[in-house]
């Protein structure tokens, strides 16, 4: 059943008044944010916003699993302050598909909880309670649910313990930001596990699969890629050790991977770091600072713009290599202590770059280490740069974050990243060879397809809120829990 919830905004200086109606499910738990801006000199109230958030499916699933945990366990011990130990029969865990594989509830009890931080961002997309689980936008401010704070962080606020309280059916939490913190314009208020990153836990919508390589072929444990509805892996022919590109049909909505075939068997047995597929079907392989090109028939092809089948890029790290239609992107820094630099080329000329983008350390801190690959999401015109076990989603044109890009998200370095346009979810496809009897079986690949993100709730405000250094801000969160 659906009920109506009123969201309001009033500016006491300009007289602006906004009122909208949100449709919310009739549930036993609901949360309301009240945001108040004050003039820092006079203390007068300048603006007030009140709006109800939606609780994500992540929270609903964790509630279900916590109930299963409590029902199935034989006993609960707390030998450490960090977790509660499960002591029940192991077969029940698999039977009921409970998320805690390590037999503890650390995801709840040690701060790994989807409602641990309140975060303000400029993401202004519509609320999608059925599918939305990832935090998006530029971060304007945040505050820990647990802790007070009195430092110089330009984003962080503090829990106001004097004004906060807990009742049996009502939790009232108050947070304050001083004049130097959370300045900017925000549209959304999130509850998230962390203030500046998305975990990729896979609590909802996750599916495990095991796929087999075509007869006579093996998987190679390198980065996978999604291109035009196909999932590509690097492999090799078992008998000759020739490099092979394996391709499978991918149905993101159904979470299926089928119809494995050999896309190309290449006339090389060397070891490569990464691969890409060009629009004309050619395969590009990266090894160190060298780029190689092969046709789908397996024969070497000239690098466009040269008369050679490979090209050395004068010390470029080439950890980031991605083809997006007619554009080819290559990492062009020559020292991993530098800021990330990316050259853009036309697919027909990989000698003369069209332009160069520099990504400063404040945006992606890759100082002192290599990056782990680059992928493209054509549905949203976003590129994904993988570094330090995180995926950084960036606008393809600006190579910067935007109000629509997810904040950095934890990831496996070999994962493929894609997008589900129906559920509007970012999808991680993790892959690893199975390990049996003390050895890896490269004839098979264990694949996990899971939506990225681990947010607890989101509130799209009735209109943007702008805080400046002339304002202090108070945010109140009221969580109402109906009795039964």
The CATH code of the domain that includes 283 is 2.115.10
Q: What percent of the chain has pLDDT over 90?
A: 77
Mean pLDDT of 366-390: 94
Region 61-90 average pLDDT: 59
| 184 and 217 assigned to the same domain | no
Residue 71, pLDDT score: 64
Are 269 and 344 part of one and the same domain? yes
How much of the chain exceeds pLDDT 70, in percent?
90
Report which of residues 132 and 168 the model is more confident about.
Answer: 132
**What is the pLDDT at residue 73?**
61
343 and 379 inside one domain: yes
Is residue 385 included in any domain, yes or no?
yes
| β-sheet bridge partners, residue 121 | 139, 188
What count of Cα atoms within 13 Å lies in the side-chain half-sphere of residue 303?
18
Q: Is residue 217 part of a domain?
A: yes
C-beta neighbour count of 44 within 10 angstroms: 11
- Burial (CB < 10 A; 0-12, 13-18, 19+), residue 465, is buried
User: Does residue 128 lie in a domain region?
Assistant: yes
Residue 353 lies in a domain: yes
Does 131 score more than 90 pLDDT? yes
- With respect to residue 35, please indicate whether it lies within any of the assigned structural domains: yes
- Using DSSP, state whether 414 is helix, strand or coil: coil
Structural domains in the chain (count): 3
- One domain, residues 266 and 193: no
Largest CA distance in the chain: 80
Residues 122 and 255 in one domain: no
Q: Are residues 223 and 266 in the same domain?
A: yes
Whether residue 65 is predicted with pLDDT greater than 50 in this model: the reply is yes
**pLDDT tens-digit readout, 162-201:** 999 998 889 999 999 999 999 999 999 999 999 999 988 7
Whether residues 26 and 90 fall in one domain: no
Q: Does residue 241 sit in the same domain as residue 136?
A: no
Q: Is residue 38 part of a domain?
A: yes
Can you give the pLDDT at residue 483? 59
Mean pLDDT on 128-137: 96
pLDDT digits (tens, 9 = 90+) for 212-227: 999 999 999 999 999 9
429 and 354 share one domain = yes
Residue 295 covered by a domain: yes
Q: For residue 61, is it within any domain?
A: no
The pLDDT-based confidence of 87 (bands split at 50, 70, 90) is low
* Residues 467, 404 share a domain: no
Which range marks the domain in which residue 83 is found?
66-109
| pLDDT at 90 exceeding the cut of 80 | no
Residue 214 has a pLDDT of 98
- Long-range CB pairs of 339-346 (<8 Å, 24+ gap) are 339/366, 340/364, 340/366, 340/371, 340/385, 340/387, 342/399
301 and 349 share a domain? yes
- Whether 82 and 182 map to the same domain: the answer is no
Report the predicted TM-score, pTM, of the whole model to 2 decimal places.
0.90
């Amino acid at each position: 059943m659906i009920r109506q919830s009123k969201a309001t905004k009033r500016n006491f200086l300009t007289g602006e008044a906004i009122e909208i109606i949100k449709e919310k499910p009739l549930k036993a738990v609901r949360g309301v944010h009240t945001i108040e801006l004050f003039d820092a000199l006079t203390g007068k109230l300048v603006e007030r916003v009140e709006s109800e958030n939606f609780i994500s499916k992540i929270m609903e699933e964790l509630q279900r699993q916590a109930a299963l945990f409590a029902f199935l366990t034989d006993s609960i011990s707390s030998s450490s302050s960090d977790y509660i130990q499960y002591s029940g029969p192991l077969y029940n865990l698999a039977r009921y598909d409970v998320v805690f594989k390590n037999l503890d509830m650390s995801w709840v009890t040690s701060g790994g909880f989807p409602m641990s931080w309140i975060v303000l961002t400029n993401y202004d997309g519509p609320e999608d309670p059925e599918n939305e689980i990832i935090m998006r936008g530029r971060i304007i401010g945040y505050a820990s649910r647990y802790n007070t704070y009195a430092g110089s962080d330009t984003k962080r606020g503090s829990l106001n313990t004097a004004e906060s309280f807990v009742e049996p059916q009502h939790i009232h939490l108050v947070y304050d930001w001083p004049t130097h913190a959370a300045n900017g314009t925000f549209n959304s208020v999130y509850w998230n596990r962390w203030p500046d990153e998305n975990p990729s836990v896979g609590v909802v919508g996750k599916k495990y699969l095991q796929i087999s390589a075509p007869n006579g072929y093996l998987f190679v444990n390198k980065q996978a890629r999604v291109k035009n509805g196909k999932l590509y892996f690097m492999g090799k022919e078992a008998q000759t050790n020739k490099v092979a590109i394996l391709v499978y049909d991918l149905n993101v909505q159904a979470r299926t991977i089928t119809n494995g075939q050999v896309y190309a068997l290449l006339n090389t047995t060397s070891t490569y770091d990464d691969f890409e597929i060009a629009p004309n079907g050619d395969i590009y392989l990266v090894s160190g600072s060298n780029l190689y090109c092969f046709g789908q028939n397996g024969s070497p092809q000239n690098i466009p713009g040269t008369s050679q089948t490979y090209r050395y890029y004068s010390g470029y790290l080439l950890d980031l290599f991605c083809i997006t239609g007619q554009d080819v992107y290559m990492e062009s820094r020559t020292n991993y202590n530098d800021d990330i630099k990316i050259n853009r080329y036309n697919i027909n000329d990989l000698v003369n770059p069209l332009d160069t983008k520099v990504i400063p350390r404040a945006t992606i801190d890759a100082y002192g280490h290599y990056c782990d690959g680059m992928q493209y999401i054509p549905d949203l015109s976003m590129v994904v740069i993988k570094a330090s076990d995180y995926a950084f989603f960036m606008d393809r044109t600006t190579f910067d974050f935007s109000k629509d890009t997810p904040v950095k998200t934890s990831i496996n370095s070999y994962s493929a990243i894609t997008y589900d346009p129906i559920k509007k979810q970012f999808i991680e496809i993790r892959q690893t060879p199975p390990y049996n009897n003390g050895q890896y079986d490269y004839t098979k690949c264990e694949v996990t397809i899971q939506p990225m993100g681990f947010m607890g709730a989101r509130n799209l405000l009735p209109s943007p809120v702008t805080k400046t250094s002339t304002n202090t801000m108070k945010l109140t969160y009221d969580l109402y829990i109906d009795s039964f």
